[in-house]
Structure 1
């Protein structure tokens, strides 16, 4: 009976896979290969969500997640993070699923993606339930807003991408510096633009350039992360995107390094990761990941500059210092 109820829960909660089709979303289609890649990413995200919705425990979901292809496994962990966060917000849930998922040995290697998935859940939950969101790490909690921004740009493209909407009083996390949440949300919007633009680097760059200049660095950072983690382009296209980034190349490289770290830690680096970091960062995926590890701030937020932003700036500066990135 319990397994039947979990199966029913999965069917009720899991979005229809048609929602990930580029034709449904109205996104640009560069070619059939890119469309297949981006739609497979969406399918793997929903696979992870379904595993979480049906799992008796997070460990049960992890067992199934670890059987998925290396290239797409992280997206499934992201979907599972969303699924467990939704379950935590439900009545009588106990609210421990995300915590247990993060504590799992494999989950610890996918912390970044799980936090991003939690942000997807925030986008689907009413704000009065945000108090149930489990994002305890003071540094990585900001990744939830990256996930929130991706969701909003992916599902509400006219409002967040073409309309360039920002909430002037975004309420989470409590006590954060005024306006900084929107910067991290922009990083998620930039990541979604890689999907909205169908991996066509000129379409993506054109979209970013419609935004005010003060938002473009964060948008390029998000797109650089997506171009490195999901990829879908050849070396010449990556170089073209780097050229289009112009003065925002350090931010593009920082996003790429974040993606390299998210793939390196769980052992999911693929050739497209190496190609992207070589172009954007002038480094191997491992070297870019090491820059992320070596620049983690050892101090909490100070004043109006969150430690997360200190970290991002250090990564960009370090990549410039290494000589692989021209400012």
Structure 2
């Protein structure tokens, strides 16, 4: 495909940056600084998407992605994964782009790549999901996390205000499908950090408006977004812990996941260091080590999915030594 046709494909397939403006979405604006952070995240995601759709190959996409500032680069890789998954899921020449990306330049960003696949799922017809379903038996659940984020972000009335939950979600379609709603809620929780404008009080009010049996997963997503995307200072993070109450261990687990994603990709930032210290009482490499040590091998699903067992072990380990656990 010529460069000119790839450029046309980029223009046709890439959503407008206006779609990620807080004013467009009707999200809470805490401050101009928080708005700028969240809108930059959204714009960078779409830039990554556009790079992947237009690039000649993943090497060229990688060159473009690596120019993104460290704080936002992970979101660009997430967007790139969505773009590649969209191409895999559409009737266009060539397949296996996401798998090749995970085996290549996307490998250090595997958390974000799997989340990006979920964004594509939300935009593709369900009968095409099999063409983009992740093969990793553990991280595949992050695709549903990405799906949940997308639905809450773009269909806020339905998924947040009305708290819709699909009782018969069709993916991954095996005996573990009962876990799908939990993974989707973890993504919805991440989106609540954006919808609430990084304001812990607003975000906590949103979470607490959901049924009690959904809040653990939602708060886990909130903790991940607070640590990875940032936007809150130390006092605000402490207020988030106070509001989370019994769900503090889930907040800590989400923060540990976020820290691991940034450490493994070499994209550590001061706001992540602050958040993981406040929420987990650990330095980012320590939190990443907890996640690595708890990671199941081999991955065997039982009454609980291996992914949920992993999350619970992380939660127990990081929260046992957290400052708030001693008060």
Q: TM-score, normalised by structure 1?
A: 0.97
* Partner residue in 1 for 2:262: 263
Residues 253 and 325, structure 1, Cα contact 8 Å, conserved in 2: no
Match of 1:326, SS state, is: helix
Structure 1 distance, partners of 2:215, 2:90, is 37
Q: 1:86 and 1:79 mapped to 2: Cα distance?
A: 11
Q: Residue 48 in 1 paired to residue 36 in 2?
A: no
1:179 deviates by 2.7
Kept in 1, the 8 Å contact 2:170–2:177? The answer is: no
Where 2:325 maps in the other structure, the secondary structure is: coil
Aligned to 1:34: 34
Alpha-carbon distance in 2 for matches of 1:157, 1:225: 19
Aligned match of 2:97: 97
**Aligned partner of residue 67 in structure 2, secondary structure:** coil
SS in structure 2 opposite 1:305?
A: coil
Alpha-carbon distance in structure 2 between the residues aligned to 1:191 and 1:92:
32
1:16 alignment counterpart: 16
Q: How does 1:310-321 map to 2 (within 5 A)?
A: 310-321=309-320
Q: 2-side partners of 1:203 and 1:322: how far apart?
A: 28
Deviation at 1:58, TM superposition (A): 1.6
Note the C-alpha offset of 1:238.
Answer: 0.3
Cα shift at 1:298: 1.6
Question: In the aligned structure 1, how far is the partner of 2:150 from the partner of 2:247?
Answer: 24
State the Cα RMSD in Å. 1.2
Instruction: Tell me which residue corresponds to 1:215.
Output: 214
8 A contact 2:279–2:322 mirrored in 1: no
CA displacement 1:247-273 (0-9 Å, x = unmatched): 000100000000000000111111100
Distance across 2 between alignment mates of 1:223 and 1:137: 24
Question: Who is 1:154 aligned against?
Answer: 153
Cα distance in 1 for residues equivalent to 2:309 and 2:5: 46
Instruction: Name which of structure 1's ranges 128-137 and 21-30 shifts more when overlaid on structure 2.
Output: 128-137
2:116 corresponds in structure 1 to 117
How big is the shift at 1:107? 1.2
Once the 2 structures are TM-superposed, how far is the Cα of residue 190 of structure 1 from its aligned partner?
A: 0.3
- Contact conserved, 1:283 with 1:324, CA < 8 A, in 2? no
Q: Distance in 1 between matches of 2:223 and 2:48?
A: 24
Name the counterpart of 2:185.
Answer: 186
- For 1:294, the equivalent position in structure 2 comes to 293
- Following superposition, the deviation at residue 28 of structure 1 comes to 0.5
Q: Is the 8 A contact 1:27 1:195 kept in 2?
A: yes
What is the alpha-carbon distance in structure 1 between the residues aligned to residue 303 and residue 56 of structure 2?
A: 42
Residue 197 of structure 1: aligned partner: 196
Contact 2:27 2:197 in 1 (8 A): yes
Q: How far, CA to CA, are the matches of 2:324 and 2:127 in structure 1?
A: 43
Write out per-residue CA displacement over residues 1-44 of structure 1, whole angstroms, 9 at most, x where no aligned residue. Answer: 70000000000000000000000000001110000100000000
CA distance in 1, matches of 2:221, 2:285: 20
Aligned mates of 1:79, 1:262 — CA distance in 2: 15
The match for 1:252 is 251
- State how far apart, in whole Å, the 1-side matches of 2:175 and 2:252 are: 26
Structure-2-length-normalised TM-score: 0.97
Aligned residue pairs, count: 326
Shift of 1:92: 4.0
Deviations along 1:154-184, one digit per CA (max 9) or x if unpaired, are 0000110111110000011121434310000
CA deviation map 1:216-268 (0-9, x unaligned): 01000000000000110110000000111100001000000000000001111
Structure 2 Cα separation of the partners of residues 291 and 57 of structure 1: 35
SS of the residue aligned with 1:136?
coil
> Take 1:302 and 1:91, find their aligned partners in 2: how far apart are those partners?
33
1:71 aligns with 2:71: yes
Give 1:320 shift.
2.6
